[in-house]
């Protein structure tokens, strides 16, 4: 039975003046997959994901999510449909506690059910290893813990698609191992799109890898296929 396509793009482009950051990208993400998006710095990865999320508009092309054209929907509407995302620069509320940050994300889904709000907020924090820090001011967290808090905020939305941009940046080796285990657990119910420079993490997690270079997809395949791809070696993996 063929996998259901959760997210797709056709001829997706983004220009910044004369710079073509993303060029005519056709992309399909099946439901239930862990997909990694890799490529050199400046390849267009974050620009591409920012268009998927509605953070920046596409110059041309289309984006479809769950069979619905979302190309022109604002970011908050896409969140309501089931997208959650974290970006390279953390976007936590630094003056609120760790608990309050996640509770805001959960509240968007649960409303005023206070018992369920507390249960699911603490559950999301437990999944990323931050439950013991629930009452700490978020801005006082180490950078790696702020990254984990962002993931907890995403999980609190119970998304259909979780998009993570450089999630292991700032994490210790032990935290990276815990992150890998977490994403494997999350993928049982949530499709994951991962932008990551840590190639061992990509190879350990991804079902499929998409490689961008100069704003175009140059290869797509399993970790073994990507590792053996001569064009990818020349462009990114270093031979």
pLDDT in tens, 195-206: 999 999 999 999
Domain identity same for 73 and 166: yes
Which of these three, 107, 142, 158, is where a domain ends? 158
Segments forming the whole domain that contains residue 107:
92-158
Domain identity same for 154 and 195: no
* Residue (of 18, 76, 12, 35) closest to 163 by Cα position: 35
Q: DSSP labels for 107-157?
A: HHHHTT-HHHHHHHHHHHHHHTT-GGGTTSBGGGS-HHHHHHHHHHHHHTT
Domain identity same for 73 and 184: yes
pLDDT score recorded for residue 91: 75
Q: How many domains does the chain have?
A: 2
β-strand partners of 19: 16
Tell me what the pLDDT averaged over the chain comes to: 91
Residue that wins the pLDDT comparison between 72 and 91: 72
- 87 found inside a domain: no
Please give the average per-residue pLDDT across 81-104, as a whole number.
86
pLDDT score recorded for residue 1: 52
Domain identity same for 175 and 238: yes
Catalogue the E-assigned strands of 166-215: 191-195, 208-213
β-strand partners of 163: 85, 193
Domain identity same for 118 and 177: no
Take residue 100 and report the two structure tokens written for it.
């309050």
Tell me the C-alpha distance between 48 and 191, whole Å. 17
Please identify which residue in the block is written with the tokens 């993490």. 201
Share of the chain above pLDDT 90, in %: 71
Long-range residue pairs from 124-128, CB within 8 A, at least 24 positions apart, any chain = 124/152, 124/153, 124/155, 124/156, 125/98, 125/99, 125/152, 127/152, 127/155, 127/182, 127/185, 127/186, 128/152, 128/155, 128/182
- 126 found inside a domain: yes
- 206 found inside a domain: yes
Domain identity same for 115 and 133: yes
Res. 89: pLDDT tops 70 = no
Domain identity same for 142 and 215: no
Domain identity same for 222 and 106: no
Tell me the C-alpha distance between 213 and 41, whole Å. 9
Domain identity same for 55 and 115: no
The number of angstroms, rounded, from the C-alpha of 22 to the middle of its chain's C-alpha atoms is 18
Record the pTM.
Answer: 0.89
Res. 232: pLDDT tops 90 = no
- 116 found inside a domain: yes
Which of these three, 158, 186, 207, is where a domain ends? 158
pLDDT score recorded for residue 14: 96
Please identify which residue in the block is written with the tokens 């259901």. 4
- 153 found inside a domain: yes
CATH of the domain at 8: 3.40.50.300
Domain identity same for 62 and 165: yes
pLDDT tens-digit series, residues 23-82? 999 999 999 999 999 998 889 999 999 999 999 999 999 999 999 999 999 999 999 899
> pLDDT-derived band of residue 2, with 50, 70 and 90 as boundaries?
low
* Residue (of 87, 72, 58, 63) closest to 8 by Cα position: 63
Domain identity same for 224 and 167: yes
Domain identity same for 131 and 34: no
Which of these three, 140, 158, 176, is where a domain ends? 158
Res. 144: pLDDT tops 90 = no
């Amino acid at each position: 039975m063929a996998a259901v396509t959760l997210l797709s793009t056709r001829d997706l482009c983004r220009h910044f003046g004369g710079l073509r950051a993303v060029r005519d990208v056709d992309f399909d993400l099946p439901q239930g997959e862990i997909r990694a998006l890799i490529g050199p710095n400046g390849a267009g990865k974050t620009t591409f994901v920012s268009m998927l999320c509605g953070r920046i508009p596409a110059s041309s092309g289309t984006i479809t999510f769950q069979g619905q054209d979302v190309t022109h929907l604002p970011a908050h509407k896409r969140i309501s449909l089931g997208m959650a995302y974290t970006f390279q620069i953390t976007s936590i509320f630094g003056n609120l506690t760790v608990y309050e940050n996640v509770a805001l994300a959960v509240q968007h889904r649960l409303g005023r059910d206070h018992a369920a709000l507390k249960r699911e907020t603490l559950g999301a924090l437990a999944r990323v290893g931050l439950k013991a820090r629930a009452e700490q001011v978020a801005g006082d967290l180490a950078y790696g813990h702020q990254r984990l808090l962002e993931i907890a905020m995403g999980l609190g939305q119970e998304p259909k698609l979780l998009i993570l941009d450089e999630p292991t940046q700032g994490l210790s080796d032990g935290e990276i191992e815990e992150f890998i285990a977490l994403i494997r657990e999350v993928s049982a119910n949530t499709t994951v799109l991962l932008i990551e420079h840590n190639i061992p993490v990509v190879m350990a997690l991804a079902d499929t890898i998409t490689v961008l270079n100069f704003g175009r997809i140059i290869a797509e395949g399993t970790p073994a296929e990507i590792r053996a791809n001569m064009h990818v070696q020349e462009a990114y993996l270093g031979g």
